[in-house]
Structures are given as structure tokens and as C-alpha cells.
């Protein structure tokens, strides 16, 4: 190939976090393309600066708040123009965002290889927009970087060729280990929020299944507010808008509402909380590195590894959430037990595995398809 760079298509805060290591290892061969899906500077600009990443190629303004179909259409159009003007050797997309789906589609239509990082996750919940994005990307991708054997098995069952699937681990492990502040700084951040280690909950709620349903969001806020321990709630822009639109200021006022945190600040608070409560996919992974218990407030999860390993518990708002909160807060041995468990998402080499595959397949002479990073046959997957 004549092109000597790899385009990393990003549009949300988690994508910055999870691909920062890949970008740094690629060095000047990394081209960061920003879709504009997240538009709040607190969720974007600060993260680029925190990870020391170069200024991205900004494609769109004002796309963040648009309906999903229109948003994806505009992103595909803008990405197609960008890729036509400057074709990279490959396009990397991460996870299950609208940006990832748009990036994969635009690259595929342009005849550019698509590399999907965090491939193979499945919730089997057709109501999740993210599940539709994951299933859209799978047949378009030329290389699937699966974080776990479970994710790889999903891809193989869907008919993806084994030589297009590698198991790399999840880049969230190294991102968490690299970003978590040293203990003195972490404790300073905790004290800055007027709480003590082990004496508070940290909650994040932002998914449409929770924020777009007034009764469901009210139930979550009420159940958190009823707890005896203080609950820190960094407000995502979508959640803040829902609280205002649904008239939920009173229940949210009983929680300690704080501004969105940078990644280091969030990890410091998460590391020392008594319990995490979240509907985030990334937090389900980070809790396995931080060794903190988590209640996943959702109908389903595409990350069953965290649940099976004992770090997370899935609970719907209502009696399931109330019971999970009660039982996990009463489990005084949780921290000691979790500290002994390894993360199911790897040991922190995922970025290096992914970059090695990119160099072998797209940036160096040789065959288009190399050997899997981990032999699938030995894992009983083929």
C-alpha cells in the first residue's frame, strides 16, 4: 500500500481512552479523525490533552445532538470525503458507538481495510442501539481484535473466519493502570469531594434506556438517594438534560451532583468508593482493574465476563436494584475478595498486540493475513 498511516476514527470519550495507547505506539503513523459525536469540551478536549494526543482532524460540528439516523448519515458522508481525499492503509474503529459504525461503513465503501477494536461483544438485546452497531460492524471488518475468548467465540459462531480474529485483551486495562493517580493524589481527590475512602458510592447514569424513561430515571435517583452513604453523581450532559426535562431536580438534589470528571479524577474516586453504580460499559471493565464491586443498572450486558468473575452484578431499577445495593453494601469482605481476582480483560498488553497486528498486516510487506495473537484452536474456539 502507498499510504503509510492508520486512521483512528473517534467520536466519544471512551474511544479516546481506549485507543490512546494504540495512537501513542503508532506514533507518526497514527491519524486521529474526530467525528464530533461528543460535543461537550469536558468530555473531549480535556481527554486529548490528558493523554498527550495530537490535535485531531475535526470533521463535523453540531452532529452530537442530532437523531441517531441523521447523525450517522452525516458522519458517513464526512468520513467518506475525508478517506477519499487521504486514503489510509487501514481504518481503526473502537467499540459500538455511532462513530464506530459510521467509520466502518465509510471505510468499507471506500475499499479500505477496517480494524475493529473490542470486537465480538454481544448483549443479544435488540433494543440496544449499541448492539445494532456491533452487528453492523462485524461483517464489514477485515480484522477483529476481540478482548476475550467469549467475544471471539461470538464472532466465530456468526461465521467470521478464524484468521480474521485475534484475541488481544482489552485496552482499558493499560489505560486504567496508566491513568490511575498515585495513592497520595488519589486520596487528595477523594478528600476534595468531602468524602472518605470506603465511605461513599460513585454513580454514573447516561444510557438512553435509563435517561429517556422518566419513571425509570426517577426510580434510579430515588433508590440512590435513599441510601445512608453519600452518593457522588457526575452528571453526563444527557442525564442533566433528562433531569431538567422530566422535572427530577428534587430527587437528584439529594445526591451529590458533580461536574463530569477527567479520567484520572474518576478513577481516583472509583478506586476508593464503597460501591460503583453505573450503566457504563467501560466501568464494567475498569472495576475489574480497580477491584471494586459494581452494580450494572441495565436490562442486559455485553460484558458478562465481569459478572462471571464476581466484580459486577446486573440489576434493573426497582426491586432488583434495591436488593443489589443492599446486599453489596452489606458485604464487608468484598474488597478483600476482589483484590485477589485477576481481571478477565487481560494484563495490559492489548495496545501492543493491536499495533503489532496493524504493522504486520497493513504497514509492512508480507501477507495480508497473519497469525492470531492467541491461537484460537488452543482455546477450543475452532
Q: What are the catalytic residues?
A: 206
Tell me how far apart the alpha carbons of residues 240 and 250 are, in angstroms, rounded to a whole number. 13
Which whole-number Å values give the CA distances from 302 to 154, 232, 296, in the listed order? 11, 25, 11
Taking the alpha carbons at both ends of the chain, their separation in whole angstroms is 31
Phi-psi region of 366 (alpha: psi -120 to 50; beta: other; left: phi over 0): left
Half-sphere exposure in the Cβ direction for 181 (13 Å, CA): 20
Can you read off the three cell numbers belonging to residue 257? 451532583
Tell me how far apart the alpha carbons of residues 224 and 228 are, in angstroms, rounded to a whole number. 9
For residue 166, the SS3 value is strand
Which whole-number Å values give the CA distances from 127 to 132, 214, 216, in the listed order? 8, 18, 16
Tell which residue, 373, 370, 372, 359, has the closest CA to residue 1.
359
Can you read off the three cell numbers belonging to residue 279? 450503566
What does the angle CA 191 – CA 237 – CA 20 come to, to the nearest 5 degrees? 75
Contacts for 23 with CB less than 8 Å, ≥ 6 apart: 8, 30, 32, 51, 53
Tell me how far apart the alpha carbons of residues 37 and 17 are, in angstroms, rounded to a whole number. 15
CB neighbourhood size of 245 (10 A): 12
Which whole-number Å values give the CA distances from 30 to 8, 76, 99, 100, in the listed order? 7, 20, 18, 17
**Please, what's the b/e burial string for 222-241 (b: 16 or more CB within 10 A of its CB; e: otherwise)?**
ebbeebeebbbbbbbbbbbe
Amino acid at each position: 500500500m502507498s499510504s503509510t498511516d492508520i486512521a483512528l476514527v473517534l467520536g466519544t470519550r471512551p474511544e479516546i481512552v481506549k485507543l490512546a495507547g494504540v495512537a501513542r505506539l503508532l506514533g507518526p503513523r497514527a491519524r486521529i479523525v474526530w467525528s464530533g459525536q461528543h460535543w461537550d469540551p469536558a468530555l473531549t478536549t480535556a481527554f486529548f490533552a490528558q493523554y498527550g494526543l495530537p490535535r485531531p482532524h475535526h470533521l463535523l460540528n453540531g452532529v452530537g445532538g442530532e437523531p441517531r439516523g441523521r447523525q450517522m448519515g452525516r458522519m458517513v458522508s464526512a468520513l467518506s470525503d475525508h478517506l477519499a481525499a487521504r486514503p489510509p492503509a487501514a481504518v481503526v474503529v473502537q467499540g459500538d458507538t455511532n462513530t464506530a459504525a459510521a467509520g466502518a461503513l465509510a471505510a468499507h465503501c471506500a475499499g479500505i481495510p477496517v480494524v475493529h477494536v473490542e470486537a465480538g461483544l454481544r448483549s443479544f438485546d435488540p433494543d440496544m442501539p449499541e448492539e445494532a452497531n456491533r452487528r453492523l460492524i462485524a461483517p464489514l471488518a477485515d480484522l477483529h481484535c476481540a478482548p476475550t475468548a467469549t467475544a471471539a467465540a461470538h464472532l466465530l459462531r456468526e461465521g467470521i473466519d478464524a484468521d480474521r480474529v485475534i484475541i488481544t485483551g482489552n485496552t482499558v486495562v493499560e489505560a486504567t493502570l496508566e491513568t490511575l493517580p498515585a495513592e497520595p493524589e488519589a486520596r487528595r481527590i477523594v478528600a476534595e469531594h468531602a468524602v472518605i475512602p470506603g465511605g461513599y458510592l460513585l454513580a454514573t447514569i447516561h444510557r438512553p434506556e435509563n435517561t429517556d424513561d422518566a419513571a425509570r430515571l426517577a426510580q434510579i435517583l430515588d433508590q440512590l438517594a435513599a441510601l445512608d452513604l453519600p452518593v457522588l453523581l457526575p452528571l453526563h450532559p444527557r442525564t442533566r438534560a433528562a433531569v431538567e426535562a422530566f422535572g427530577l431536580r428534587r430527587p437528584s438534589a439529594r445526591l451529590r451532583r458533580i461536574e463530569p470528571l477527567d479520567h484520572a479524577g474518576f478513577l481516583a474516586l472509583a478506586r476508593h468508593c464503597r460501591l460503583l453504580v453505573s450503566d457504563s460499559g467501560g466501568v464494567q471493565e475498569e472495576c475489574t482493574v480497580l477491584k471494586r464491586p459494581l452494580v450494572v443498572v441495565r436490562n442486559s450486558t455485553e460484558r458478562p465476563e465481569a459478572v462471571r468473575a464476581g466484580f459486577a452484578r446486573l440489576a434493573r431499577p426497582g426491586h432488583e436494584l434495591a436488593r443489589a445495593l443492599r446486599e453489596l453494601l452489606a458485604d464487608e469482605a468484598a474488597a478483600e475478595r476482589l483484590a485477589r481476582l485477576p481481571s478477565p480483560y487481560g494484563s495490559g498488553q492489548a495496545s501492543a498486540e493491536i499495533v503489532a497486528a496493524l504493522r504486520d498486516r497493513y504497514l509492512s510487506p508480507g501477507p495480508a493475513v497473519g497469525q492470531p495473537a492467541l491461537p484460537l484452536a488452543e482455546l477450543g474456539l475452532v
